[in-house]
Amino acid sequence: MPTPALPPQGAPDRSRRWRRVRRAAALPLAALVLSGCTVPGFGATPGDTTSSQSAYHLWQGFSIGAVIVGGITVGLMAWAVVRYRRRGDHIPVQHQYHLPLEVFYTVMPILIVFGLFAATLVVENKETSNPKTNVTINVNAFQWGWQFIYPGTNALVYGQTTQSPIMEMPVNTNVHVNLTSTDVIHGFYVHAFNFSRYALPGVVNQFTFRAQNTGTFFGQCTQLCGLYHSLMWFRVKVVPAAQYAQWISTFNNPADAAAAAAAIKTTNEELATGVASKASYTKFGR
């Protein structure tokens, strides 16, 4: 009858197993080195803003950790299940505690966690900082669409559900976004920017994008907001600065100026309903 409880027998057996392990590990390692150490994206994409790329690198770091820890754990699990499968009625040694081992697998995760937290802090502070900006866009979410107001100009974009209003912004410029909602909670999410933020009624959330590539990117409401939530789409169009200025100037006519002024007035009235005393409330300016 086999006795799985006994420790592995002798050195030759152990070294043979070790050789097998080394051979198995060599292949993926060699592949990694040969590929010029290009770290894979683990499903995520770098995105098109500076902070989306920091978040992406953080993602890669977390993923490498997850693959290593997960790989070791699955390996141990598989080893335990295969190696110690039942092979008879023999009752194994009834060991219950191994204090050094237990301390090891308590302390190691704590160290890993603080490493992850440090990396998180660096990226988070970068992402939530609001550097000096040249362009401000007031984004107002509503059931079921978006309104983009460009304070200081007459530009105003408004669109519902799959009309997909376009938020135009210049490339390589800090663009400050003031985000709010006039009814329920919505989610402002642009996949290419690796970013989302709630549009909360009564609160103006602020953040800054610095797009690095031009292009048109898909955006969508991510927080359930009622019947047409699935269709509450928008687009972000990143254009060269000159083209952006030219686009803004197309609104320089009395009709658009009046429309923008009226829209801002209505929105401010909606926003102000009952929240004028709130410190977090800031009026949409022009």
Partner 1 sequence: MTDVLDPPIHIEHHDGGHEEHHGATGILNWLTSTDHKVIGMSYTVTSVIMMVIGGAFAEIIRAQLATPNGSLVSLAQYNELFTMHGSVMIYLFAGPFAFGALANIIVPIQIGAPDMAFPRLNALSYWLYLTGSITMLSGFFVAGGAANFGWVAYAPLSNSLNTPGSGADLWIGGLLLTGFSAIFTGVNLCATIFYLRAPGMTMFRMPIFTWNMLVTAILILLAFPVLTAGLIMLYCDRHFGTHIFSVAGGGVPVLWQHIFWFWGHPEVYILALPFFGMVTEVIAVFSRKPVFGYKGMVFATLTIAALSLGVWAHHMFTTGVVLLPFFSIMSLLIAVPTGIKMFNWIGTMWKGQVWFSTAMLMSIGFLFTFLVGGLTGIYLASPPLDFFTHDTYFVVAHFHSIVMALVLGAMSGLYYWGPKITGYLLNERLGKAQFWFLFIGIQVFTFPIYLLGLYGMPRRVAVYPANPQWKALNDLSTLGAVLIGVSTVIFVVNIVVSWKKYPAGDNPWDAQTLEWFTTSPPPHHNFYRLPQIRSERPTWDHNHPEHRTLHHGEHDVDPQVPESEGEHV
According to CB under 8 A, which residues from 99 to 138 bind partner 1? 99, 101-102, 105-106, 109-110, 113, 116-117, 119-121, 123-124, 127-128
| Shortest Å distance, C-beta 236 to partner 1 | 13
Residue type, 48: D
Query: Does 176 sit near partner 1 (CB under 8 A)?
Result: no
- Residue 256 in the binding site for partner 1 (CB under 8 A): no
Q: What tokens appear for 13 in the block? A: 């057996």
Of 25-33, 89-97, 208-216, 248-256, the segment contacting partner 1 by CB under 8 A is 89-97
Q: Closest CB to partner 1 among 9 and 277?
A: 277
Stretch that binds partner 1, among 30-38, 62-70, 148-156, 169-177 (CB under 8 A): 62-70
Q: Pick from 46, 151, 159, 200 the residue near partner 1 by CB under 8 A.
A: 200
5-44 residues in contact with partner 1 (CB under 8 A) are 5, 43-44
CB 139 within 8 A of CB 99: no
Residue (156 or 225) nearer to partner 1, CB:
225
Single out the segment in contact with partner 1 by CB under 8 A; choices: 31-39, 146-154, 228-236, 252-260: 228-236
d(C-alpha 4, C-alpha 80), whole Å: 11
Phi/psi for 156 (5° steps) reads -150, 130
Least gap, CB of 266 to partner 1 (angstroms): 16
C-alpha 206/C-alpha 196 separation (Å) is 12
Calpha distance 238→71 (Å, rounded): 41
Reference 58, options 37, 75, 44; nearest CA is 44
Distance CA 7, CA 24 (A): 23
Among 11, 34, 37, 91, binds partner 1 (CB under 8 A): 91
Q: What is the DSSP string of 195-227?
A: EEEEE-BT--EEEEEEB-S-EEEEEEE-S--ST
Tracing tokens 């789409």 back to the chain, one arrives at 233
Residues contacting partner 1: total by CB under 8 A: 91
Query: Which one among 58, 137, 155, 239 touches partner 1, defined by CB under 8 A?
Result: 58
Kindly state whether residue 52 participates in binding partner 1, applying the rule CB under 8 A: yes
CA distance 227 to 198: 18
Going residue by residue from 132 to 171, which x/- string records binding to partner 1, judged by CB under 8 A? ----------------------------------------
Nearest to 192 by CA among 218, 226, 214: 218
